Amino acid sequence: MGKKILWKLLMVIIVIVFASVTFAGNVRNGEKLFNSPDLGTNGRKCSSCHRKGKGINGTKRVFRIIGRKFRNPEDAINFCLKLALKGEPLEKDSKEMQDLVSYIRTLKPGKKKRVIGC
Ligand code: HEC
């Protein structure tokens, strides 16, 4: 392989790493929001019911919450946010929403236990 190609490859890798850090949601910040009462208005946090992510399988494409079906994590998050935290729904492309989605995507089915009551 020529040196030029190697350099181009390196540049591509740098750009991809940079872009994923900058644009993708921040998992740690998402976890903070998940554990914060500031998202809602009734003092509850996501983690009040989903302790350490309990009851959430972030690897799924379709989420079901009390009989309703959501085709993306944003709608599922906003549903719980409105109903359980009495909070304002978040814009889908807001940083908070992207961070929450990133965190939820890390939650694995192994942790799944049913959560009761909204
Ligand atoms: C009062 C309790 C409660 C609170 C607080 C709560 N949820 Fe939920 N959530 C539930 C219940 C109940 C379900 C349905 C779980 C089931 O069917 O096993 C659910 C389901 C979900 C699901 C779908 C899980 C899956 O794998 O299908 C997501 C995503 C979710 N909640 C996110 C959140 C987020 C984000 C917050 C904070 C904004 C939050 N929840 C706050 C009770 C709550």
Would you write out the chain's pLDDT as a tens digit for each of its 118 residues? 688 999 999 999 999 888 776 666 799 999 999 999 999 999 999 999 999 898 999 998 899 999 999 999 999 999 999 999 999 999 999 999 999 999 999 998 764 456 655 4
In Å, what is the CA distance from 91 to each residue of 8, 11, 17, 88? 37, 33, 26, 9
49 Cβ closer than 6 Å to some ligand 1 atom: yes
Q: How far is C-alpha 14 from the chain's CA centre? A: 25
**In this structure, are residues 34 and 45 in contact, taking their beta carbons and an 8 Å threshold?**
yes
Q: How confident is the model at residue 114, as a pLDDT? A: 61
28 Cβ closer than 6 Å to some ligand 1 atom: no
How far is Cα 39 from Cα 33, in angstroms, rounded to an integer?
7
Q: Which of 87, 115, 118 is nearest to 100 (CA)?
A: 87
Q: Count of residues for the chain?
A: 118
Q: How far is the CA of 5 from the centre of ligand 1 (A)?
A: 48
Shortest-distance Cα residue to atom 20 of ligand 1: 65
81 Cβ closer than 6 Å to some ligand 1 atom: yes
Handedness of CA 77, 82, 87, 88 (dihedral sign): positive
How far is Cα 71 from Cα 82, in angstroms, rounded to an integer?
17
